[in-house]
Structure 1
Amino acid sequence: MAFDLIVLDVMMPGESGIDFTRGLRRSTTVPILLLTAMGEPEDRIAGLESGADDYLTKPFEPRELLLRVATILRRTAPPPSALPATCIKIGEFRYFPARDQLLRGDEAVRLTTAEADLLRVFAANPGETLSRHALSQRLDGSPSRRAIDVQIARLRRKIEPEPQNPRYLQTVWGRGYVLRAD
Structure 2
Amino acid sequence: MSEKSLLIIDDDIELTELLSQYLSSQNFQVDVANDSEQGLGMAVISNKYDLILLDVMMPKLNGFEVLKKLRQSCITPVLMLTAKGDDLDRILGLELGADDYLPKPFNHRELTARINAIVRRVDFHTKPSTPQQLTIDKLSIVPSRQEAFFDQQPITLTGTEFAILQLLMSHPGELISKELISEQVFNRKLMAFDRSIDMHVSNIRKKLHQFSEQTMIKTVRGSGYIFVATQ
* TM-score grouping bracket, smaller chain normalisation: 0.3 to 0.5
TM-score by length of 1: 0.45
TM-score (norm 2): 0.37
**Larger Rg: 1 or 2?**
1
